[in-house]
Amino acid sequence: MKQIILHPTYFPSISHYVAMIQANEITFEVEDNFQKQTNRNRMYIYSPNGLQMLNIPIKHNKDKRQKFKDVRIENDFDWQKNHFKSLEAAYRTSPYFEFFEDDFLPIFQKKQEFMMDLNFEIFEIVNNCLGITLPFETTTEYFHKIENKTDFRYLANGKKDTFINESYIQVFNEKHGFLANLSILDLLFNEGRHAVAYLKKQAL
């Protein structure tokens, strides 16, 4: 039985979904300290100009350390409008953007206070769009080393995640070539529910 542990991230990378869809048991790390410059609050998409990072601003705590589950979103910046406009520019002409658009609109319309809550809400919406159910548990305390699970927590760090997935047709392929391991949205908008079979075939 394949048991894994990983972080809840903002519109997870394809590598995250490869790990999760091939696992028997999923545990999300929710007791760790927040780390900057990770996919906890950012994702990568394929824009008309190539690779684009979308980052959610957070409220910085005066204390140096704070748990990720306590991190609040800085909603004074209109990040939701900017992110949705970027997604439209990137994927409006993709085969499945309009099919799934209404499922994702609430993420960019209502205000969410906590980053982790937003990530879990996104996780459920993406799973519904893919037509899959991925039951999970959450941690109750933090362990630096994990004995009984495959530790995929490093996948939240784009610099450490070097996964290269098989190519599929992307909107701007002819302009910039294939870009690997983007947000799951890139795969979903280009492949629709065919993405599930694709994810099951990838080797992480």
pLDDT tens per residue across span 76-126:
989 999 999 999 999 999 999 999 999 999 999 999 999 999 999 999 999
Q: Please report the pLDDT score of residue 1 as a whole number.
A: 59
Per the prediction, the chain carries an average pLDDT of 95
| CB distance 4 to 23 below 8 Å | yes
Q: Please report the pLDDT score of residue 60 as a whole number.
A: 81
174-193: pLDDT as tens digits: 999 999 999 999 999 999 99
Q: Please report the pLDDT score of residue 63 as a whole number.
A: 67
> Does the model's pTM come out above 0.85?
yes
**Count of residues in the chain:** 204
pLDDT bucket at 31, cuts 50 / 70 / 90: very high
Q: Please report the pLDDT score of residue 159 as a whole number.
A: 87
From 39-48, 62-71, 133-142, 179-188, the region with the lowest mean pLDDT: 62-71
Residue 203 one-letter amino acid: A
CA–CA separation, 121 and 101 (whole Å)? 16
| CB distance 41 to 58 below 8 Å | yes
Residue located via tokens 């005066």: 62
153-176: pLDDT as tens digits: 999 998 899 999 999 999 999 999
> Does 40 score more than 70 pLDDT?
yes
CA–CA separation, 71 and 116 (whole Å)? 7
